[in-house]
Amino acid sequence: MRTLLHHLPALFTGWILMLASALSSAASPQWATLDWTLVETLIALDAPLSGVAQIDAYHAWVDKPRIPDTAIDLGLRTQPNLELLADLAPDAIFISPMFSHLTPRLSRIAPVESLPLYQADSDTWQEMQALTRKLGEHVDREKQAESLIAETMALINRLKARVSPTAPLLMVQFMDERHVRVFGENGLYHAVLEQLGIANAWQAPTNAWGFSLVGLEGLAAYPDAQLVVVEPLPVGVEASLAESGLWQQLPSVREERVITLPPLWSFGALPSAQRFARTLVSALEAQHDD
Amino acid sequence: MTTKELKRYQPTVLTLLLAALAAGLAVSALLPVTLSEAISLIWVLETPLMPTFAVVHFSFWPRLAMALLAGAGLGLAGVLMQQVLRNPLASPTTLGVASGANLGLMAATLFVPELLFWGREWVALAGGAAAMGGVFLLAWRSDLAPAVVVLAGLVMNLYAGALGMVLLLFHQEALKGLLIWGAGSLSQNGWSDLEFLWPRLLFGALAAALLLRPLQLLTLDDASARSLGASLKALRFGGLGVAVFITACVVSVVGIIGFIGLAAPNLARLAGARRLGERVMYSMLLGGLLLASTDLALQQIPGMLPTLIPTGAATAALGAPLLLWLITRLSLTTPHVSRGLPPHVASHLGRRSAVLMGLTLLSIVIALLLGQRASGWFWAGLESIDVLQWRWPRLLAAAGSGVLLALAGTLLQRVTANPMASPEVLGISGGSAIALIGAIYALPSPSPAMLLGAGTLGALVTLGILILFNYRSGFTPSRLLLTGVAITALFDAVRAFILAGGDPRGQQVLAWLSGSTYYTTPAGAIGIAVIAALGVALTLLFSRWLAILPLGGEASTAIGLPLRHARLSLLTLVAFLTASATLVVGPLSFVGLLAPHLAKMLGFQHARAHLLGGALVGALIMTSADWFGRQWLFPQEIPAGLVASLIGGAYFMWRLARI
């Protein structure tokens, strides 16, 4: 008893210290994530990020929203640097199911949450909203999540009113001068088109991320479609297309009505969807005005 | 007609059969356009064309012509390679042309994209030429002797491949287009590629025609050829140069097309083409027709798949079973690469092993204690002891797998007496990699245990295939290696196909394939270390067999060695060692190829010394590679397997050039 009494002051201060540190970490919890789609959503929700995988590549391919400078690069998405991650000690690590084989390792550092998007045979638009809500819960930003969803819906409705009737769109991204990805069902672009009430010309099967890989000759089967090319064009492709007999024969190309969109992350969530919807509708309007 | 006469017509019959098949496939691929309409569409002047007709004119015909031309080119290059290198395993890509072209394209895309404005073909050609130049330079002093050229080509392939893999790992988004090129797509949308290729191939074929007579001398052994007044070096340079030029031209336009260059010459020979002239002609015909039939058949697959099936990957995949079947029929009596590198004089073995051990210990200490964090470099002390929990499993796994692969490689090179032999070539790694890729793609969120199970299963199935196809022949080394080559070709095809599709899960496949200790668990690391220790003990038990087997089958039997029994036991052991290592560090580390050679170059000649020296070298390479890989581009990690290929490969080339 005496010993306990003797230790009481020390125990008490220890308890105070623990409480203080708990409070301070509760004041600014930090999150880490390996998945760019989760990154853009977390930034949109204004959740502080301490570690993100492949920041430079994110800025090259997703671009916006920008990752705050305070976040530290964790290395490759498939092999985040564990020593560094342990040093950062985030409150939770968010991954997509694609990286779930890392869970045993990552969970030694912090709780791991796996959040799915782009699963086969599910409605992408619904999935994106569900993902936003779930992330909101995990980072205590339910309100921001709801307002991100509401803001997206409002934007879509505004844009929908501006869309005038158009031919079905054939959305492609060049891989090299002979091959393109065509975006269809299961994908971000397709989901946005559906919301905007625009038809997608590509009805052939797509993978879980919503695209098919085809040779350029595959586009000839859709002479009536409006071609939409999503940048970036690989170097040299423009020159080879000028010499490509087949490309020059495509009605959209012959009539010089190909629409070009700036680079956009094609596997993103609501922030990418907003950007795509905005740029697409402006491009369609610009063409309509010509 | 006598049987002898029948035999004489066999190559013709085979060619005609294949031509009929290709024609049939072409007619059905054209539907609904009729053949006569299509023929009238070869030359059209009026535009615009109806979409279906535009596809026939701008896509179908150039594609068919491209397939025939590229196939013929690869067939020709294959014969030349096999003739000069005296090795039926040689193929147009043996000398690193394709991987050099690939690396050139990747580097240009990432660092000097302006170059690509001049045309992708030129960049690819330059990359291929640089790789070839490197090979020639390495083998120049040994008069381009086949064994040395083959080794130099192998190491060039793996070097360029490893560098390419590093670039790919860090820039997957930027390089996704090149993955399609790497899988070999014949898809065309105009005539310009064909206009680039045909004059160059014509030039190559003419050069080959001029070389035909002198090249026949290479069927003889070196001494007889020399006594007939041939300059072996000039002859080899000419033959290989033409083959490489043709390969580089083809590859630069349509990408990497596997198997045709290996299969067409072997098919021609099997069908009965004996003289070099005949073999060249039939290899070109068969190569063109094989590629065209495959490509036409692929075009029949309706748009059921969300991705195209690249023809190069498909030829390799279809070719693998064909090659397996061929192997059982091929009489492998051709003079074979049997001498490895001339041995280094062994003088200070004791001191050398002490130095090796010291270096290994040093690399272990550094790997455990020295590292980086966000604020910079630091030595792990008591206050940062936690960090060791991440380091020791990786270190142990690296050392263990290095030992395992080195042992497997040493065993294999001694059993087969072929310096090209390595666990990777045997196909065990490839088999388990195919199973792993399957698991990653088929399961929605695979757990580590599932991946481990799939990998083990793949390795076992591969071993089964190896035994099944080689039991009757008593595990003849060259047959065994060909079986392995077939399985490895299948793996390359699966990998190329998977990556070309652009599915984001490709990242995961890449990360695992590149051979990283990242995914090691503590239990796995301990397991691998125990297996490595057991492996050393087990292989030492076989050291008497291993001393005799390199002398060749007949000599071994004469001494009283139970040949089939010995080969089967050793093969099983190799499979077991390789599978354990592959599950930890992936299939592409090449330590199994390099470590035995390095040990030999260092003077570890006799079976026992070779095994132990190899194991030490393997452990040293892998532990230092693992550490370098983690620090070099911190926080990004370069997989140990790739770094091992780069470090080991550099040393290997340096030694090779000095032979």
Domain of A223, CATH number, reads 3.40.50.1980
Q: How far apart are CA B602 and CA B610, in angstroms?
A: 10
Chain A positions in Cβ-Cβ contact with residue B497 (cut-off 8 Å): none
Residues A211-264 have pLDDT tens digits of 999 988 888 888 889 999 998 888 888 888 888 888 988 888 888 889 999 888
Please give, rounded to a whole number of angstroms, the shortest distance from the CA of A284 to a CA of chain B. Answer: 25
In a domain, B445, yes or no: yes
Same domain, A147 and A169: no
Contact A75 B511 (CB under 8 A): no
In a domain, A242, yes or no: yes
In a domain, A223, yes or no: yes
Contact B636 A98 (CB under 8 A): no
What's the pLDDT band for A1 if we cut at 50, 70, 90? very low
Residue pair B59/B228 in contact by the 8 Å Cβ criterion: no
Question: B171 pLDDT exceeds 80?
Answer: yes
Same domain, A184 and A226: yes
Same domain, B312 and B423: no
Nearest 5°: the CA angle A220, A222, A226 is 110
Look at residues A153, A183, A211 and tell me which one is the last residue of a structural domain.
A153
Same domain, B325 and B419: no
Tell me, what's the pLDDT at B331? 59
Lowest mean pLDDT among A203-212, B300-309, B642-651: B300-309
Residue pair B95/B135 in contact by the 8 Å Cβ criterion: yes
The mean pLDDT of B132-140, rounded to a whole number, is: 88
| β-strand pairing of B370-373 with B376-379 | antiparallel
In a domain, A128, yes or no: yes
Q: What is the CA radius of gyration of chain B?
A: 25
Residues A172-217 have pLDDT tens digits of 999 988 899 999 988 899 999 999 999 999 988 888 888 999 988 8
Q: How far apart are CA B42 and CA B296, in angstroms?
A: 17
Which among A271, A30, A260, A240 is positioned nearest to A152, based on CA atoms?
Answer: A271
Give the pTM.
0.84
Nearest 5°: the CA angle A115, A116, A118 is 150
Sequence length of chain A is: 290
Sequence length of chain B is: 659
Q: How far apart are CA A182 and CA A172, in angstroms?
A: 4
Contact A75 B635 (CB under 8 A): yes
Q: How far apart are CA A214 and CA A207, in angstroms?
A: 12
**Peptide bond just before B88 cis, omega within 30 deg:** no
Question: A169 pLDDT exceeds 90?
Answer: yes
Chain B positions in Cβ-Cβ contact with residue A100 (cut-off 8 Å): 445-447
Q: Which chain B residue's Cα is nearest to A75?
A: B636
- Phi first, then psi: what are they for A183, rounded to 5°? -95, 130
Look at residues B307, B329, B351 and tell me which one is the last residue of a structural domain.
B329
DSSP output for B494-552: HHHHHHHTT-TTHHHHHHHHT--STT--HHHHHHHHHHHHHHHHHHHHTHHHHHHGGG-
Same domain, B316 and B400: no
Tell me, what's the pLDDT at B335? 39
Lowest mean pLDDT among A184-188, B15-19, B328-332, B618-622: B328-332
Same domain, B453 and B317: no
Which two three-digit tokens encode residue A250? Answer: 């495509």
Same domain, A180 and A143: no
Q: Name the residue with higher pLDDT: B142 or B281.
A: B281
Chain position carrying tokens 């090795």:
B87
Q: How far apart are CA B324 and CA B329, in angstroms?
A: 9
In a domain, B139, yes or no: yes
CB count in 10 Å sphere of residue B350: 8
Q: Which of A61, A212, A247 sits opposite B306 (nearest CB)?
A: A212
Which among A220, A170, A180 is positioned nearest to B57, based on CA atoms?
Answer: A220
Beta carbons within 8 Å of B333's beta carbon, 6+ residues apart:
none
Tell me, what's the pLDDT at A17? 46
Residue pair A38/A118 in contact by the 8 Å Cβ criterion: no
Lowest mean pLDDT among A126-135, B284-293, B459-468: B459-468
Contact B510 A78 (CB under 8 A): yes
Q: Which of B52, B189, B503 sits opposite A178 (nearest CB)?
A: B189
Tell me, what's the pLDDT at B3? 52
Contact B178 A247 (CB under 8 A): no
In a domain, A212, yes or no: yes
Same domain, B324 and B399: no
Same domain, B321 and B401: no
Tell me, what's the pLDDT at A26? 45
In a domain, B383, yes or no: no
- Phi first, then psi: what are they for A113, rounded to 5°? -115, 125
Q: What is the DSSP letter of A122?
A: S
Residues B384-397 have pLDDT tens digits of 778 888 899 999 99
Same domain, A220 and A251: yes
What's the pLDDT band for A121 if we cut at 50, 70, 90? confident
Helix pair A188-196, A124-138: axis angle to 10 deg: 110
Which two three-digit tokens encode residue A273? Answer: 């969807």
Contact A220 B116 (CB under 8 A): no
**For chain A, how are helix, strand and coil distributed in percent, rounded to 5?**
50, 15, 35
CB count in 10 Å sphere of residue A127: 18
Same domain, A121 and A55: yes
Q: Which of A75, A100, A217 sits opposite B55 (nearest CB)?
A: A217
Contact B504 A98 (CB under 8 A): yes
Same domain, B444 and B299: no
Q: How far apart are CA A268 and CA A188, in angstroms?
A: 7
Q: Which chain A residue's Cα is nearest to B116?
A: A236
Contact B444 A97 (CB under 8 A): yes
The mean pLDDT of B144-149, rounded to a whole number, is: 81
In a domain, B386, yes or no: no
Chain A positions in Cβ-Cβ contact with residue B120 (cut-off 8 Å): 176-177, 236
Interface residue of B41, B49, B189, B507 to substitute, partner A, most A CBs within 10 Å: B189
| β-strand pairing of A169-174 with A226-230 | parallel
Look at residues B329, B349, B381 and tell me which one is the last residue of a structural domain.
B329
Chain B positions in Cβ-Cβ contact with residue A101 (cut-off 8 Å): 445-448, 451, 508, 519
Q: Name the residue with higher pLDDT: B100 or B377.
A: B100
Which among B316, B319, B307, B296 is positioned nearest to B500, based on CA atoms?
Answer: B307
CATH of the domain at B240: 1.10.3470.10
Tell me, what's the pLDDT at A20? 44
Question: B549 pLDDT exceeds 90?
Answer: no
Residues B239-266 have pLDDT tens digits of 988 998 899 899 888 988 878 888 899 8
Same domain, A178 and A281: yes
Q: Which chain A residue's Cα is nearest to B253?
A: A178
Per-chain mean pLDDT for chain A: 86
Look at residues A153, A183, A208 and tell me which one is the last residue of a structural domain.
A153
The proportion of chain A whose per-residue pLDDT surpasses 70, expressed as a percent, equals 90
The mean pLDDT of B611-633, rounded to a whole number, is: 91
For A97, the domain range is 22-153
Q: What is the DSSP letter of A168?
A: P
What Cα–Cα distance (Å) separates residue B555 from each residue in A173, B333, B561? 62, 17, 9
Which among B341, B257, B250, B279 is positioned nearest to B81, based on CA atoms?
Answer: B279
Chain B positions in Cβ-Cβ contact with residue A97 (cut-off 8 Å): 444-445
In a domain, B162, yes or no: yes
The proportion of chain B whose per-residue pLDDT surpasses 70, expressed as a percent, equals 93
Chain B positions in Cβ-Cβ contact with residue A86 (cut-off 8 Å): 386-387, 390
**Peptide bond just before A232 cis, omega within 30 deg:** yes
Which among B43, B15, B234 is positioned nearest to B136, based on CA atoms?
Answer: B234
Tell me, what's the pLDDT at A33? 93
Q: Which of B48, B169, B307 sits opposite A213 (nearest CB)?
A: B307
Helix pair B563-585, B428-442: axis angle to 10 deg: 40
For B602, the domain range is 395-657
In a domain, A226, yes or no: yes
CB count in 10 Å sphere of residue A86: 18
Same domain, B458 and B540: yes
Same domain, A97 and A145: yes
Q: How many domains does chain B have?
A: 2
Chain A positions in Cβ-Cβ contact with residue B444 (cut-off 8 Å): 97, 119
Look at residues A93, A123, A153 and tell me which one is the last residue of a structural domain.
A153
Same domain, A149 and A176: no
The mean pLDDT of A59-83, rounded to a whole number, is: 88
Question: A160 pLDDT exceeds 80?
Answer: yes
Chain A positions in Cβ-Cβ contact with residue B521 (cut-off 8 Å): 104
Q: How many domains does chain A have?
A: 2
Q: What b-and-e string marks burial along B445-463, b requiring 16 or more CB atoms within 10 Å of the CB? A: ebebebbbbbbbbbbbebb
Q: Which chain A residue's Cα is nearest to B371?
A: A83
Chain position carrying tokens 């390099």:
B594
Same domain, A148 and A27: yes
In a domain, A208, yes or no: yes
Same domain, A118 and A239: no
Chain A positions in Cβ-Cβ contact with residue B371 (cut-off 8 Å): 83
In a domain, A1, yes or no: no
Q: Which chain B residue's Cα is nearest to A70?
A: B374
Please list the alpha-helical segments (H only) found in B301-422.
311-329, 349-369, 388-416
Helix pair B276-300, B192-216: axis angle to 10 deg: 150
Tell me, what's the pLDDT at B7? 61
Same domain, A227 and A205: yes
Which among A231, A116, A117, A115 is positioned nearest to A173, based on CA atoms?
Answer: A231
Same domain, A144 and A176: no
Contact A205 B306 (CB under 8 A): yes
Residue pair B485/B431 in contact by the 8 Å Cβ criterion: no
What's the pLDDT band for B337 if we cut at 50, 70, 90? very low
In a domain, B208, yes or no: yes
What's the pLDDT band for A23 if we cut at 50, 70, 90? very low
Residue pair A171/A258 in contact by the 8 Å Cβ criterion: no
Residue pair B116/B188 in contact by the 8 Å Cβ criterion: no
Whether ipTM exceeds 0.95: no
What Cα–Cα distance (Å) separates residue B71 from each residue in A148, A252, B75, B260, B553? 56, 35, 6, 7, 37
Interface residue of A238, A246, A264, A267 to substitute, partner B, most B CBs within 10 Å: A246
In which region does residue A261 sit, left (phi positive, over 0), alpha (psi from -120 to 50) or beta (all else)? beta
Look at residues B288, B313, B329 and tell me which one is the last residue of a structural domain.
B329
The mean pLDDT of B507-527, rounded to a whole number, is: 83
- Is A197 strand, coil or helix? coil
In a domain, A217, yes or no: yes
Tell me, what's the pLDDT at B387? 82
Chain B positions in Cβ-Cβ contact with residue A174 (cut-off 8 Å): 177
What's the pLDDT band for B383 if we cut at 50, 70, 90? confident
Question: A21 pLDDT exceeds 50?
Answer: no
Residue pair B366/B378 in contact by the 8 Å Cβ criterion: no
Structure-derived torsion over alpha carbons of residues A218, A222, A227, A231, reported in degrees to the nearest 10: -20
Chain A positions in Cβ-Cβ contact with residue B373 (cut-off 8 Å): 83-84, 87
The mean pLDDT of B443-456, rounded to a whole number, is: 77
Tell me, what's the pLDDT at B45? 64
Per-chain mean pLDDT for chain B: 83
What Cα–Cα distance (Å) separates residue A276 from each residue in A192, A271, B239? 8, 9, 55
- Bridge partners (DSSP) of residue A215 are A179
